[in-house]
Amino acid sequence: MNASALSADQLTDLAIKRQEGRLTNQGVLVVETGKRTGRSPKDRFIVRDGETETNVHWNTTNQPMLPADFDYWYGQAKSHMQQHDCLSDTFQVGNQALGLCVQVHTEYAWHLLFAHNLFSQVNGEPSWQLINLPSLKPTKGLHGAVSDGLVMINFTQKCVLILGMRYAGEMKKAMFTVLNYLLPARDVLPMHCSANMGDDGQTALFFGLSGTGKTTLSMDASRQLIGDDEHGWSADAVFNFEGGCYAKCIHLDPKAEPVIYQALRPGAIMENVVIDEAGQPDFDDDRLTENTRAAYPRSFIDNCVPANAGPVPKHVIFLTCDMYGVLPPIAKLSAEQTLFYFLSGYTAKVGSTEVGGGKGIQPTFSTCFGAPFFPRDPMVYAQLLLKRVEAAGASVYLVNTGWHQGAYGQGGNRYAIAMTRQVVDQITSGQLDGCQWHQLPGFGFLMPSDAKLPCSPDPRADWVDQADYVQTANRLIEQLNQNFEQYDPSGQQAGRPQMLTKK
């Protein structure tokens, strides 16, 4: 069925008719995604052929699949669609000049609603296909399948095939991966970041993994949102890949995150959010997953940049949720440190977005702040970032949205989101441009000396036991350097932190 004429309300009604979900007391569609409540990276493959052989950075994330295996599953998918009442529509991913026109085929009405909310509708000739068939479950061990779910990307045939998966985020991230492969060849940096713009017309970027505050901090009532997750940075602009947002809902607070809360209206989708018999959501209930989600279009946010794009940024912010409590609330990075921390992608997993990620807080390193989505050699993206930062004259900051006063579980407290907002506001408003800076020993980056921050700019001042701080900081420094050996085996890369000595 061609569903291009179906509105969000009609797709919601169709999903209810097909018993794919329930409505909240406010008329928002709520669905459950089964045993997979996050992405399944071990089930994602890229077809290895003449196009990708030397262009993809093959590893445990970018796993190869034989063209013949893809062809088998593609044949199974075409046969499955002929026997089931599937839906289709055409969307734009990325902007008109530097994006893709994609024909999306889905088995579930709510999956097409997800595409309707996250991508932009367009009346164009599609160059790519995205096929999502949850009830077509692969057999483990058959034609490259390692479980009963598969995500396959074929750059030669220009097709994404998703089988046996109900978690809608696989659709979004598969298309993100496609653009991340294609755009560097066009001198465009693809980024796992959010972006907003102030009244002064200046753009700010927020890099970070899920749980670091990327979506929350970019949705600032005093600034206009460009996008909350995926962007491209060309020589003259930053543009959003998407037409909507995919926000985490766990512990959603209408006071702390009013923009997200107010976007939960009819037409939106909530994944794995628990609701009672009366349809009242409980955003604190994580019995299904900590990775509860809401998908809604940008039109549900009042304060958006209409063009879905902005000028090149003046402020680039790396968000890191430091579970060790040794990083400052804000640090200014040199070019060498920008390269180091971009490739390191250090943060803590807070409610994993991946299958098997588990609950609780754990440190992680994710290249380019989004390793699972970048098919090319990481240095391709890092060098392009440095090129863009230098050309724009942008300042790069590391902002800690994690712990201070001690480590997680050892007396430390997490920075309140309201306080981090004040720190970010000082960056984006230019209040830090004229302040004095001093160096943090060991890490080597600069902290503001005379800024009026809502917290101590020096993390050492928050620790009662300075010897404990040194020991904990050295633990993180050692992990950072060990992780970076994959990019710099000689250990000579400038920007690396140095071990502290006890006084």
H or E element at residue 428: helix 417-428
Interatomic CA distance for residues 476 and 322, integer angstroms: 9
Tokens 């298309």 belong to which residue?
175
Beta strand pairing call for 446-448 and 150-154: unpaired
Cβ atoms of 292 and 283 closer than 8 Å: yes
Give Cβ neighbours of residue 310 (< 8 Å, ≥ 6 apart). Answer: 195, 197, 201, 203, 226, 237, 238, 239
Can 186 be counted among the known catalytic residues?
A: no
Does the annotation mark 287 as catalytic? Answer: no
Distance CA 76, CA 144 (A): 14
Active-site residue (options: 90, 215, 289, 428): 215
**CA pair distance 29, 248, nearest whole angstrom:** 16
> Quick one: tokens of 152?
């396959």
Q: How far is CA 52 from CA 72, 172, 348, in A?
A: 19, 21, 32
The string of DSSP codes covering 346-360 is: EEEEES-SBTT--SS
Of 42, 414, 459, 395, the C-alpha closest to 256 is 414
Active site residue 173: yes
Give the DSSP H/E element, type plus range, for residue 116.
helix 109-118
Q: Which of 203, 210, 289, 472 is catalytic?
A: 210
Q: 390: buried, middle or exposed (CB in 10 Å: 19+, 13-18, 0-12)?
A: exposed
Task: Name the catalytic one among 44, 173, 315, 404.
Answer: 173
Phi, psi values for residue 126, rounded to 5°? -65, 140
Q: Is 80 a catalytic residue?
A: no
Establish whether 140 is a catalytic residue. no
> Can 210 be counted among the known catalytic residues?
yes
Question: Torsions phi, psi of 36, nearest 5?
Answer: -100, 105
Query: What contacts 126, CB < 8 A, 6 or more positions away?
Result: 90, 101, 102, 103
Query: Per the residue annotation, which of 89, 220, 228, 229 is the catalytic one?
Result: 229
Residue 298, Cβ density class (10 Å: 0-12 exposed, 13-18 middle, ≥19 buried) = buried
d(CA 453, CA 180): 36
Question: Is residue 39 flagged as an active site residue?
Answer: yes
Which phi and psi (to 5°) does residue 345 adopt? 55, 40
Instruction: State the catalytic residue, choosing from 293, 376, 388, 496.
Output: 293
Say which of 214, 223, 248, 388 is annotated catalytic.
214
DSSP, res 459 = G
Active-site pick, 24, 36, 37, 39: 39
* Separation CA 493–CA 483 (nearest Å): 13
Q: Which amino acid is at 219?
A: M
Phi/psi for 417 (5° steps) reads: -60, -35
Task: State the catalytic residue, choosing from 105, 111, 116, 192.
Answer: 192
Contact (Cβ atoms closer than 8 angstroms) between residue 466 and residue 444: no
Tokens 């991966």 found at: 177
**Which residues are the active-site residues?**
39, 173, 192, 210, 214-215, 229, 293
